[in-house]
Amino acid sequence: MPEIESHDFDVVVIGAGGAGLRAAIEAKGRGLRTALVCKSLLGKAHTVMAEGGAAAALGNVYPEDNWQVHFRDTMRGGKLLNNWRMAELHAKEAPDRINELESWGALFDRTPDGRILQRDFGGHRYARLAHVGDRTGLEMIRTLQQRAVAMDIDVFMECKILRLLTDGSGQMSGAVGYWRATGEPVSFTARAIVLATGGIGRSWKYTTNSWESTGDGDAMAFWAGADLIDMEAVQFHPTGMVWPMSVRGLLVTEGVRGDGGVLRNSEGKRFMFDYIPEMFAAETADTEAEADRWYDDHANNRRPPELLPRDEVARSINAEVKAGRGSPHGGVFLDIATRRSAEYIHRRLPSMYHQFKELAGVDITTEAMEVGPTCHYMMGGVRVEADTAATTVAGLFAAGEVAAGLHGANRLGGNSLSDLIVFGRRAGMGASDYAEGRSGDPSVDPAEIDTVLAEAFAPLGREGADSPYDVQHDLQETMQSLVGIIRTESELVEAIDKIGELRERAGRVSVKGGRAYNPGWNLATDLPSMLTVSLAVAKGALDRRESRGGHTRDDYPKPDPALGKINLVQRLVDGEHTITPEELPTMPAELAVLLEEGH
Amino acid sequence: MSEVTMRIWRGDPTGGDFENYTLPANEGEVVLDMVHRIQAGPAPDLACRWNCKAGKCGSCSAEINGMPRLMCMTRMDELPADQPVTVAPMRTFPVIRDLVTDVSFNFEVAKRIPSFAPRPREADGTYRMAQMDVDRGQEFRKCIECFLCQDVCHVIRDHEENKAHYAGPRFLMRAMELESHPLDTRDRRELLRKELGLAMCNITKCCTEVCPEHIKITDNGIIPLKERVVDAAYDPIAWLGRKILRRSRPPVLETETAASPA
Ligand SMILES: Cc1cc2nc3c(=O)[nH]c(=O)nc-3n(C[C@H](O)[C@H](O)[C@H](O)COP(=O)(O)OP(=O)(O)OC[C@H]3O[C@@H](n4cnc5c(N)ncnc54)[C@H](O)[C@@H]3O)c2cc1C
Ligand code: SF4
Ligand code: SF4
Ligand code: FES
Inspect the interface and report whether the beta carbons of A211 and B30 lie closer than 8 Å. Answer: no
pLDDT attached to residue B258: 34
- Among B12, B57, B100, the residue with its CB nearest the CB of A48 is B57
A310 vs B199 pLDDT, higher one: B199
Reference A195, options A392, A354, A342; nearest CA is A392
Query: Which residues touch A550 (CB under 8 Å, ≥6 apart)?
Result: A233, A234, A235, A236, A310, A311, A379, A409, A410
Q: Quick check: is A561 in a domain?
A: no
Which of A:319-348 have CB within 8 Å of B? none
Q: Which amino acid is residue A418, in one-letter code?
A: S
The Cα–Cα gap between A181 and A116 comes to 41
Residue A562: which pLDDT band, with cuts at 50, 70 and 90?
A: very high
Q: Quick check: is A580 in a domain?
A: no
Q: Quick check: is A415 in a domain?
A: yes
Give catalytic status of residue A131 as yes or no: no
The Cα–Cα gap between A170 and A588 comes to 33
Inspect the interface and report whether the beta carbons of B141 and A139 lie closer than 8 Å. Answer: yes
Q: Are residues A534 and A430 in the same domain?
A: no
Question: Domains of chain B (ranges plus CATH)?
Answer: 3-101 (3.10.20.30), 104-259 (1.10.1060.10)
Q: Alpha-carbon dihedral of residues B90, B92, B94, B98, nearest 10 degrees?
A: 10
Q: Within an 8 Å CB–CB cutoff, is residue A147 touching chain B? A: yes
For the stretch A17-36, pLDDT in tens is: 999 999 999 999 999 999 99
% of chain A exceeding 70 in pLDDT? 99
> Which atom of ligand 1 is the closest one to the Cα of A250?
1
Q: Are residues A178 and A60 in the same domain?
A: yes
For the stretch A564-592, pLDDT in tens is: 999 999 999 999 999 999 999 999 999 99
Residue A460 has pLDDT above 70, yes or no: yes
The Cα–Cα gap between A41 and B146 comes to 11
Inspect the interface and report whether the beta carbons of B138 and A114 lie closer than 8 Å. Answer: no
User: Any idea which ligand is nearest the CA of A41?
Assistant: 1
The Cα–Cα gap between A419 and A423 comes to 6
- Among A44, A102, A511, the residue with its CB nearest the CB of B44 is A511
Query: Which residues touch A314 (CB under 8 Å, ≥6 apart)?
Result: A236, A237, A238, A373, A485
Beta bridge partners of A154: A35
Phi, psi of A501 (to 5 degrees): -65, -40
Residue B1: which pLDDT band, with cuts at 50, 70 and 90?
A: low
Q: Quick check: is A586 in a domain?
A: no
Q: Which residues of B touch A137 (CB under 8 A)?
A: 56
What kind and span of H or E run contains A359?
A: helix A350-360
Q: Whose CA is nearest to atom 3 of ligand 2?
A: B169
- Among A104, A113, A117, the residue with its CB nearest the CB of B116 is A104
Q: Which residues of A touch B121 (CB under 8 A)?
A: 103
CA of B207 to the centre of ligand 3 (A): 8
Phi, psi of A17 (to 5 degrees): -80, -165
Pocket of ligand 3 (CB under 6 A): B 58, 143-149, 170, 173, 210-213, 215, 217
Query: Which residues touch A36 (CB under 8 Å, ≥6 apart)?
Result: A13, A16, A20, A21, A24, A42, A148, A153, A154, A155, A156
Alpha helices in A483-567 (DSSP H): 489-506, 519-543
* Cβ A251 under 6 angstroms from ligand 1: yes
DSSP calls for chain B: --EEEEEEEEEETTEEEEEEEEEE--TT-BHHHHHHHHHHTT-TT-----S-SSSSS---EEEETTEEEEGGG-BGGGS-TTSPEEEE--SSS-EEETTEE--HHHHHHHHHS----BPPPPTTS-----HHHHHHHHHHHT-----HHHHH-HHHHS-GGGGGT---HHHHHHHHHHHT-TTB----HHHHHHTS-GGG-----HHHHH-TT---IIIIIIHHHHHHHHHHHH-HHHHHHHHHHHHH-----TT--PPP--
CB A431 within 8 A of CB A190: no
pLDDT attached to residue A351: 84
> A-B interface: how many C-beta pairs under 8 angstroms?
175
Q: Are residues A424 and A468 in the same domain?
A: no
- Among A155, A244, A513, the residue with its CB nearest the CB of B28 is A244
The Cα–Cα gap between A415 and A123 comes to 10
Q: Within an 8 Å CB–CB cutoff, is residue A115 touching chain B? A: yes
- Closest-CA residue in chain A for B111? A149
- Closest-CA residue in chain A for B44? A520
Domain endpoint, select from A319, A339, A373: A373
- Among B33, B56, B59, the residue with its CB nearest the CB of A246 is B33
Residue A225 has pLDDT above 50, yes or no: yes
CA of A9 to the centre of ligand 1 (A): 24
DSSP calls for A141-203: HHHHHHHHHHTT-EEETTEEEEEEEE-TTS-EEEEEEEETTT--EEEEEEEEEEE-----GGG
Residue B235 has pLDDT above 70, yes or no: no
The Cα–Cα gap between B210 and A22 comes to 32
Q: Which of A76, A97, A257, A487 is catalytic?
A: A257
Q: What is the mean pLDDT of residues A553-564?
A: 95
Residue B255: which pLDDT band, with cuts at 50, 70 and 90?
A: very low
Q: Within an 8 Å CB–CB cutoff, is residue B258 touching chain A? A: no
Residue A62 has pLDDT above 70, yes or no: yes
Which of A:153-192 have CB within 8 Å of B? 155, 157, 181
* Cβ B176 under 6 angstroms from ligand 2: no
Q: Within an 8 Å CB–CB cutoff, is residue A102 touching chain B? A: yes
Alpha-carbon separation of residue B218 from B162, B221, B224 (angstroms):
19, 5, 8
The Cα–Cα gap between A217 and A161 comes to 9
- Closest-CA residue in chain A for B72? A359
Give catalytic status of residue A128 as yes or no: no
Residue B262 has pLDDT above 80, yes or no: no
- Closest-CA residue in chain A for B13? A516
Residue B238 has pLDDT above 80, yes or no: no
Residue B232 has pLDDT above 80, yes or no: no
Average pLDDT value for chain A: 95
Which of B:46-75 have CB within 8 Å of A? 46-59, 73, 75
Phi, psi of A163 (to 5 degrees): -155, 150
Q: Within an 8 Å CB–CB cutoff, is residue A537 touching chain B? A: no
> Which atom of ligand 2 is the closest one to the Cα of B206?
5
Q: Are residues A305 and A450 in the same domain?
A: no
> Which atom of ligand 4 is the closest one to the Cα of B55?
3
pLDDT attached to residue B105: 97
Inspect the interface and report whether the beta carbons of B118 and A113 lie closer than 8 Å. Answer: no
pLDDT attached to residue A430: 98
pLDDT attached to residue A2: 66
Antiparallel, parallel or unpaired: β A129-130 and A54-55: antiparallel
Q: Quick check: is A423 in a domain?
A: yes
The Cα–Cα gap between B55 and B73 comes to 6
Residue A392 has pLDDT above 50, yes or no: yes
* Cβ B172 under 6 angstroms from ligand 4: no
Which of A:446-475 have CB within 8 Å of B? 467-470, 473
Q: Is the bond preceding residue A442 a cis peptide, omega within 30 degrees? A: no
The Cα–Cα gap between A74 and A413 comes to 10
The Cα–Cα gap between B58 and A42 comes to 11
CA of A226 to the centre of ligand 1 (A): 21
Q: Which of A76, A124, A237, A310 is catalytic?
A: A237
Q: Which residues of A touch B134 (CB under 8 A)?
A: 107-110
Buried b (16+ CB within 10 A) or exposed e, A349-359: bbbbbbbbebb
ipTM: 0.92
CB A400 within 8 A of CB A38: no
Domain endpoint, select from A358, A373, A388: A373
pLDDT attached to residue B261: 32
Residue B48 has pLDDT above 70, yes or no: yes
The region, left, alpha or beta by phi > 0 then psi within -120 to 50, assigned to residue B251 is: beta
N-to-C CA span, chain B: 56
User: Any idea which ligand is nearest the CA of A43?
Assistant: 1
Residue A199 has pLDDT above 50, yes or no: yes
Residues A346, A347, A350, CA angle at the centre, nearest 5°? 55
CATH number at residue A336: 3.90.700.10
A275 CB burial (10 A radius; 0-12, 13-18, 19+): middle
Neighbours of A367 (CB within 10 A): 16
Q: Quick check: is A589 in a domain?
A: no
Domain endpoint, select from A407, A437, A467: A437
Average pLDDT value for chain B: 90
Q: What is the mean pLDDT of residues A272-285?
A: 93
Q: Are residues A313 and A403 in the same domain?
A: no
% of chain B exceeding 70 in pLDDT? 87
Q: Quick check: is A569 in a domain?
A: no
DSSP calls for A224-264: TT--EE-TT-EEEEEEEE-SSGGGTT-B--THHHHTT-EEE
Residue A107: which pLDDT band, with cuts at 50, 70 and 90?
A: very high
Residue A595 has pLDDT above 50, yes or no: yes
| CA-based nearest distance A159→chain B, Å | 14
Residue B259: which pLDDT band, with cuts at 50, 70 and 90?
A: very low
Query: Which residues touch B56 (CB under 8 Å, ≥6 apart)?
Result: A48, A49, A135, A137, A138, A351, B144
% of chain A exceeding 90 in pLDDT? 90
CB A234 within 8 A of CB A378: yes
- Closest-CA residue in chain B for A473? B40
> Residue A453 belongs to what domain range?
446-555
Q: Are residues A270 and A183 in the same domain?
A: no
Q: Which amino acid is residue A315, in one-letter code?
A: R
Neighbours of A597 (CB within 10 A): 6
The Cα–Cα gap between A208 and A334 comes to 17
CA of A47 to the centre of ligand 1 (A): 4
The Cα–Cα gap between A141 and A134 comes to 14
Q: Are residues A499 and A521 in the same domain?
A: yes
Q: What is the mean pLDDT of residues B183-188?
A: 94
N-to-C CA span, chain A: 63
Inspect the interface and report whether the beta carbons of A107 and B144 lie closer than 8 Å. Answer: no
Query: Which residues touch B124 (CB under 8 Å, ≥6 apart)?
Result: none
Q: Are residues A432 and A499 in the same domain?
A: no
Beta bridge partners of A569: A229, A580
For the stretch A128-180, pLDDT in tens is: 999 999 899 999 999 999 999 999 999 999 999 999 999 988 999 999 999 99
- Closest-CA residue in chain B for A244? B28
Structural domains counted in chain A: 3
CA of A97 to the centre of ligand 4 (A): 28
CATH number at residue A453: 1.20.58.100
pLDDT attached to residue B248: 42
Neighbours of A596 (CB within 10 A): 8
Inspect the interface and report whether the beta carbons of B44 and A99 lie closer than 8 Å. Answer: no
Q: Are residues A479 and A423 in the same domain?
A: no
Q: Are residues A244 and A195 in the same domain?
A: no
> Which atom of ligand 2 is the closest one to the Cα of B200?
7
Q: Within an 8 Å CB–CB cutoff, is residue B103 touching chain A? A: yes
Q: Are residues A59 and A87 in the same domain?
A: yes
Q: Are residues A40 and A85 in the same domain?
A: yes
- Among B30, B47, B58, the residue with its CB nearest the CB of A518 is B47
Mutate which of B52, B59, B183 to disrupt the A interface (most A C-beta within 10 Å)?
Answer: B52
Reference A503, options A541, A464, A468; nearest CA is A468
CATH number at residue A79: 3.50.50.60
Q: Quick check: is A573 in a domain?
A: no
* Cβ B70 under 6 angstroms from ligand 4: yes
